[in-house]
Amino acid sequence: MISVRFRGFTWRHAGRRSPAVSDVDLRIEPGERVLLLGPSGSGKSTLLAALAGLLTTDSGDQRGQVLLDGTDAADRRGAAGILFQDPETQLVMARSGDDVAFGLENQAVPTEAIWPRVRHAIETVGFPYPLDHPTHALSGGEQQRLALAGVLARRPGLILLDEPTSNIDPEGADAIRRGLKAALADTSATMVIVEHRISEIIDLIDRVIALDPGGGLLADGPPETVFAAHGPTLADQGVWVPGIPLPTRPGHGAGRPCLRGDRLTKTYPGADRPAVRGIDFTARAGEMLAVTGPNGSGKSTLALLAGGLLKPDLGTATVPGEARPLHRLPAQRLATRVGSVFQDPEHQFVTATVRAELAFAPHAAGWDRDRTDARVSELLERLRLGHLAEANPHTLSGGEARRLSVASALAAAPDALLLDEPTFGQDRRTWSELVDLTAAIRDAGTAVMAVTHDRDFAAALADRELALSAGEVDGEASRC
């Protein structure tokens, strides 16, 4: 059990003008379980990094103090255990057991004591594989559980969790939370967690600290008290406060077909069964078709096939007025027929400014200058990117980058838009923005097809649902 103390703590990352956090005064008693809240950009991750001793003097400027049991946190690096968002970059070793053992080797635990502790940690988090299972063969959720075991095996007196489930699909996230619950029952360590989805973890915490975006604290106290007093404010800041209803944006009826899939079938090289098999669908103007299903059911493959980005083994994806199937269209033409938005917006950015990004596809499609300029201005306004027109796409915030990736997919005026997990890992504020944005696109007459795990997103917008199971349409669960 470690006690935490921030004294007038301010941190400015090297090369930034304004501080990431300023004037934080805070005391956390040994064994407390704390949920740390705040809008994106309020410095939650910076505070966790400070506690983990990861802020070094060459990476920024510090004022004030961060103390663990009265000692400077930077001098006690490794005393706390931290779990980050991204599972892929937390694993060090090729075999699962070796990875958990890595932290114990660094701690100079004697060889004969290492393996019992590894086994115990792995059992606690419910990791389902033997110790020599290769880490590259794990799903994101399994990798994250293994990383959690790596944190726990070191028996830290302070456990730090930085949005541990936000990059994980819902089933994987449940398993991580179960592992976390078991682990916390097993230790008396102090815990600080950063998380937007609080209803799922509320029984793990006994105190909520909300950062004020302007500096200092907005609220501090037991969960019920804080949410009763500040619920709506926190919801506006992006926190998924339980009990505050979500918006819905029902459609106004479907129009003509804009995108069709006929018997789409695809088997990846080396796979023992098709990723998708014989899938038919029609996306119509003015409606959203949600594509749902568990991991590995073929949702993302279907999105690639529907977007003309992957060659089907059998079947075709087509749009009216185009004789060739989409996968055979040159890219410049494809972008005028169907727009695709991927999970990672940064992969899609190809130019140096927001304005150029929007002009790219129309220019490639051979639009004249006046038409392109008019389209760019329209999109900048509609997607509220006007003030960012000259900014570099890679410097945008998460929500802005997401808006830009949607705007650039729409730039060459396709009749159909494909979204792959648009709300993945987003806070409530960005989520609501995305619901409004998608509704506006749909109501302007575009056919929207969204691959999503997010039940709330599908419920808010979708008129029809195509549920996949093991690569085929699950008729029972579909609403078509």
Partner 1 sequence: MLTFAPVCDRDAPIARTNPIAKLFAVVAVSTTALLAADWLTPLLLLAALAVATPFSGVRLGPLTRRLRWLWFAGATVAVVNTVFAAEKTGAELLSFGPLEITADALVDGMALGLRVCVAATAGVLGFATTDPTDLADALTQQLRTSPRFTIGSLAAMRLLPLLSAEWQQITTARRARGMEGGRNPLRRARLFASTMFTLLVGAMRRAGRLAAAMDARGFDSGARRTHARIQRMRPADWLFSACAAAVSAAAVVVSVAYGTFRLLV
Residues forming contacts to partner 1 in the complex (CB under 8 A) are 49, 52-54, 77-78, 80-82, 84, 86, 88-95, 98, 101-111, 114-115, 118, 134-136, 147, 150-151, 154, 304, 307, 309-310, 330-332, 334-336, 339-340, 342, 344, 346-348, 350, 360-361, 364-365, 394, 408-409, 412
Minimum distance of partner 1 from residue 241's CB (angstroms): 30
Residue 444 CB burial class (10 angstroms; 0-12, 13-18, ≥19) = exposed
Q: Please, what is the minimum distance in Å from the beta carbon of residue 33 to partner 1?
A: 20
Taking the complex as a whole, how short is the minimal distance between the CB of residue 203 and partner 1, in angstroms? 27
- Chain-centroid distance, C-alpha 112: 39
Nearest to 83 by CA among 100, 68, 70: 100
Between strands 447-451 and 416-420, the pairing is parallel
Q: How far is the CB of 443 from partner 1 (least distance, A)?
A: 23
CA distance linking residue 120 with residue 153, whole number of Å: 8
Whichever of 152 and 201 has its CB closer to partner 1, that residue is: 152
The DSSP-derived string for 409-433 is HHTT--SEEEEESTTTT--HHHHHH
Crossing angle for the helix pair 140-153 and 111-124, to the nearest 10 degrees = 130
Q: How far is the CB of 138 from partner 1 (least distance, A)?
A: 12
* Enclosing H/E stretch for 182: helix 170-185
CB-wise, 225 or 397, nearer to partner 1?
397
Nearer to partner 1 (CB atom), residue 238 or residue 307: 307
124/340 with CB nearer partner 1: 340
Q: How far is the CB of 152 from partner 1 (least distance, A)?
A: 12
> From the centroid of its chain, how far is CA 30?
31
Tell me the torsion sign for CA atoms 185, 187, 188, 191. negative
The smaller minimum CB distance to partner 1, of residues 270 and 475, is found at: 270
Nearest distance, CB of residue 172 and partner 1, angstroms = 18
What are the strands of the beta sheet with 314-318, ordered from one edge? 276-284, 257-266, 314-318
Give strand pairing partners of 371: none
Q: Which is nearer to partner 1, 293 or 339 (CB)?
A: 339
Which residue's entry shows tokens 């199971």? 469
Residue nearer to partner 1 on the CB measure, 70 or 270: 270
Task: Count other Cβ atoms within 10 Å, centred on residue 307.
Answer: 26
CB of 329 to partner 1, least distance (A): 10
Nearest distance from C-beta of residue 28 to partner 1, angstroms? 19
101/434 with CB nearer partner 1? 101
Taking the complex as a whole, how short is the minimal distance between the CB of residue 256 and partner 1, in angstroms?
23
Nearest CB to partner 1, comparing residues 38 and 81? 81
What is the distance between the alpha carbons of residues 302 and 169, in angstroms, rounded to a whole number? Answer: 18
User: How far is residue 211's CA from residue 152's CA, in Å, rounded to a whole number?
Assistant: 27
In sequence order, the 6+-apart residues with CB closer than 8 A to the CB of 116 are: none
- Residue 68 amino acid letter: L
Return the number of the residue (233 or 351) whose C-beta is nearest partner 1: 351
Residues 141 and 197 sit within 8 Å (Cβ to Cβ): no
Confirm if 171 and 294 have CB atoms less than 8 A apart: yes
User: Residue 425: what residue type?
Assistant: G
